[in-house]
Amino acid sequence: MGQTVTKDSRLHIRCDERTRQLLDKAAGYAHANLSEFVLAQAVAAAERLVREQESITLRGEDFQAFLAALDTPAEPNAALRRAFERHAEQVERA
């Protein structure tokens, strides 16, 4: 038996009449009601955007350079040590 998801959050949007008609037509073609159609399209776009922003694609040679840098990290300089100290102070205050 499938799991039931409770939808307890509302999203209200306003649009002009032309946009509404276009969305209604597209929802009809998709055999979905307007809410289902808009939500599915918004979620797909959001997932795509988040994936693009949270992932990095490297060429083979760049990936090898990245792996080499992980294997032999540079010694922290003064600026990096200060940044770590500031971070530690801010975390302790939080």
Name the residue with tokens 């975390």.
Answer: 91
Name the residue with tokens 């060429």.
Answer: 59
> Exposure string (b/e) for 15-49, b if CB count within 10 Å is 16 or more?
eeeeeeeebeeebeeeeeeeeebbeeeeeeeeeee
List, in sequence order, the alpha helices (H) in 8-77.
17-29, 34-54, 60-71
Domain boundaries, the chain: 14-55, 59-94
Q: So what's the pLDDT on residue 4?
A: 78
**Per-residue pLDDT reduced to its tens digit, 8-46:** 899 999 999 999 999 999 999 999 999 999 999 999 999
Give the Cα separation of 63 and 50 in Å (integer): 22
Total-model pTM: 0.61
53 — pLDDT class (breaks 50, 70, 90): very high
Give the Cα separation of 60 and 36 in Å (integer): 41
Q: So what's the pLDDT on residue 94?
A: 63
